[in-house]
Structure 1
Amino acid sequence: MFKKPLSNLKTSAPLRSSDRRKLRQRVIAAYNVSPEIGDVLVPEGLLSQKFTTNMNEQGVAYWSPDGDPLWFSLGKGADELIPTVYTLWKKYDLLPCITTPASVIPVLVGGADLMIPGVVQIPSSQTVVPPQLVAIAKYTSDSPTTRGPPLAIGVLAADLDKLKAGGKGKAVHLLHSWKDHLFAIGSKADPPGVVEIQETGERNEGKEGKTAETDVVEQDKPGAEVQEAEGTEEGNAGPPVESTPGHSVQQRRPAPQLSKEEVSTILRNAVLQAIHSTLKSLPTSSFPIPAGTFYSSHILPHRPAFVRRLVPETDNPPTASGDDGGTSEYPLIDIKHSTYKSLAAFLKILDKQGILTIKDMKPEPLVMSVSASHAEVLSHTPYVSLRDVQLKGEKREKREEEERARVHEMDIKELWKPHAASGSERFFSEGGFDSSAMYTHAELKATVIKYITDHQLTNAYDQSYVNVSQDEVLLSTLARKNESGESLEFLKREEVVQRLSEKMQNWYEIRAEGRDPLLRKGQLKPISVVAKTRQGRRANTLISGFESFLLEAEEMAEELRRICAGATGVSPLPGKPVRSEVLVQGKQTKAVVEFLLSRGVPKKWIETADLTGKK
């Protein structure tokens, strides 16, 4: 909806008090929240502004005094108020939530709809039905009671039973997401940390590793059915870590136990850390904050990432996802395992001590302000928090993405040339096309369509079929052994293109930065990266088929020796003296793929396999 900048933006105007109250009442009624929460979600000083989307759809947006879009409506005279992610970060349970793997989030941010294979968890309430508004958040495997913050809003496109059963098709039609052009008009704030949820929802079994990306991309491929993508979400809890050269297998231990007093101390320090690092710089309009949101967005992310001082038996510190490398799990540090018993009681104690101020409301208190000048806040010694680790990881990932973006990917074209011996040259000559040229797949498809149109071969009952038997040139070109006009009466357009390409010579062209273009006869095959077990139980990674991509064996072996910190070797392939195979000690598939990508090889031209016999 907001993939492109808004147009026809009118001058923003402050809402009159009476209009603001009406808007607040609409939110309270539509989303079943208390009047106090209504004041948080529809604050004083709200502004309204009319706009037009790139699809020429008119709408109205409502902005906070700080310039963040909080609500919008679409369509002339539309009554439905749709929250933005800025609003959902104030009250994360405002909408029913669907979770999806981390790998799907960039696809959604790019504007794609969420597909059913990309759904991990669904709302447990059967009252959620299409076309109801839902939020989309990142699935986290840390705990069944946590998930990422809402990052997108859309309209449910399928019944929950269908989502639970899996399959294909759209799950949510996207309306607005983090980082889209509506979001970018605001403060561009970073999303809060993981949020605590009371009800985890039902699991879409077997889908936590599937992504929506392939469903979006594959639909554009000619004649291709929608397929599910492979892969699993990073950070997903699994079996004990597999052994690699230089690393022994370690079994996962139970989470170290902390006393209730230790948990209470950690949570209290997390509040001081949050005030010291982020809360003190929030504008006053960010308050009040509902207690649940304050706990999930500010207390939990500021828990310490390392707890070895409290728990000596913890050998390795946890990562941002709570995984400590396979030796132990992050201890349970939450309000349930503290001496406070409830979040409301904890906040009341902090209020009495002057660290923050609350307003006791139903169904939950509101945090009205924090005291950055409190003596304990000023004397607090900062530590590395889970939020710090997460931000560091995100920065590292962003840096790696930027480095990959700087690599100029090879321009690879598959080409087909008419061939007299196979009969395809006649088709091009009779059709008035250049029989000496080389054609890309798109050009070949356009040529076939023109021939079919010129000779009126489209089937009258189903235009996706071609009357092959009605044209002697086309029939003789496409017919395979033992096929005749009777057995080859109709063919789909895509099959016509496929059969024609089979009767032509294969060529390919590769253009790489700083290298002369390479044009060769033959069919281009992907680079093979295979992990195999040799000499007993020793695993090695074998790379072959790289010469076509302007890569040299000796140079590759030397680079991989440095990257993988292990032995490498080069040997000729049996029966192919001009072709070599590079061997890397250990299971180094991921490192090899990263190396090939850094050399400009497109990912679609890399095939990987694990033949080590792992169960």
Structure 2
Amino acid sequence: MFKKPVNDWKTSSPLRSSDRKKLRLKIASSYSIDTAEADVLVPEGILSVKFKSYLNEPGVAYLAPDGDRDPLWFSLGKGSDAQREDALLIPTIYTLWKMPKLLPSLSTPKAVIPIISGGADLMIPGVIHCPPSLNEGQLVSICKYERVDIDGAPTPMLSVPLAVGRMAVGSDQLQDSSQEKGKAVLVLHTWKDHLWELGSKKDVPPSEPIKTEDGAEENEDNTNSKAEEEVEDKSNSEMPANLEPVLPEVKTPTYTPDEVSQLLHMSLVQAITQSLSSLPASAFPIPATIFYTNHILPNRPHFPELVLHPSSPHEPPTADSPSTDSPSPDPSSITIKTSSHKSLTAFLKHAEKSGLISTKAPQKHSTQTDMLVTAVNAAHRDVETHHSFATIGEIEAKAARKAAREEDEKKQRAAANLEIDVQELWKPHLDSVELFEAMGESISKQYTAQEVRSLLNSYFATHQLVNPHDQAYIALDQALTACVIPKPKSKKKSPAEEAPLDQAKVEFMKRDELLKKVLNSMQNWYQVKNGDMGDEVALKKGKLAPIQVVMKMRQGRKASTLITGFEPFNIVAEDLSEDLRKLCAGATSIAPIPGKPANSGMEVLVQGKQSKSVVNYLVGKGVPEKWIEVQDATKGKKK
């Protein structure tokens, strides 16, 4: 569906609060999740945009409100707007990475994934795992199956969803050994297709080992290895015919309603311990829905089996040796709907009866229909004896901080690659030539200030020029004197007038002052290198001046910003003018610098006081801030 670029994208716009609520409720109903989970998948400020596919089929996409604008949902066909009852909302890969279990999933060998991403459908022989009771036309996700050596043992691994599609046949037909050809899934959207490319292009989350019942993993070894070898020998979308597709279903332990209620009670106690007890009295009352969403749900245990093991024949796991017989229970399944209370009001009344909280019913004629939580009891016995556990909120916050750090590091690396490297150089010239010849160094080479300093220090040590009483002072020999002591400018002066100069011979000079004078006697050069230019750098003669950003008043009353000296930094006047016109939303113009000779550079004028925007633009182009000078001539001040 998105193997080719999408046509005719319309302008995106935020959904109204009422439309977002309808969208959230529809997703919660369609995918059997609670509204809290749906709220994560339909964030505040979500955008909608209409489009047409390359086949000219209309559709609607829903984008995340942040800067990445990740596509989260889409629907296809006429009347695909989510407000229609019959419109089907399809999750994107970005959404499935947030909630991998939103759709039932099939798995296929690693070699098949590039074929699917290229626009092919998943064929029946390419299916390895398939859950039972799937119907034709049902939405499913597709994951990558591969074997990875872990500690010397080949371990089957399953990725997060990498494709979304509709079942072309039911799962009973997939299990039928007579079905050797044909399509299993009609693929609608894949990782790396043009819809996915619209987003932030995040890295694929790591794969996880497949955990099955005893013996299942051993039985799948030969089948899967043989399947992968056969698939890799094929380059077209028709998969090998002798692959046995389906493995035993992986059973995930679940909690009973009473156990879910117990876990929610523990979550409430955890919330009181961690945050609610420290809230000021003015923070109460809290509406029941907000209390549940902001305090109880984030404090659910992330590893519930370590807090309360579900009813099963297996031995309870410990933190040191967690159970490997079966997958861990899904912590997101711990909700009011799956508890014995069935409603939030019943749960809160039970908590009030046990003495944990105090509540108040909404006023009879108030617009507020939620029960209100008026206080919490931090002195309750359950709170005082509570042992804290890792919560969903803590793990998600930790993951978010890690993702933010990685994003910052990525931006810093990108900025480092983009930043222009400016290097000032000096070349022996006139009076300094004799000194460099005395040091045995090339007089045709350009040197950095640090290199000149190192050469001088070596020269001082070799010729024993350092003052033994004060090492900050250097004795001047003939080569140093000729370089740093200025010669008489005129030969017309009488011997009497020149005598004082001969008598005032300088014998010693401070080390730093001497370096400065040596550099002043050399010829200035510079090189400017963009981060993506590699080692090919053009040297230019002359002293590099900072870019001048000057704000002036025109005609006595109109402010304008003038930018000059940007050419050495590989910035073109026309591009600068056009970009600033859009960025500053004001008129711009280009002209030769007034009062300067021809070919001295151009001056870009921007209407208004725009120094901050100009500096941000130049820094974004990689110009180091120390090479930008800002002057406010409207007040006669410098910044």
Q: TM-score, normalised by structure 2?
A: 0.37
Q: Computing the radius of gyration over CA atoms, which structure comes out larger, 1 or 2?
A: 2
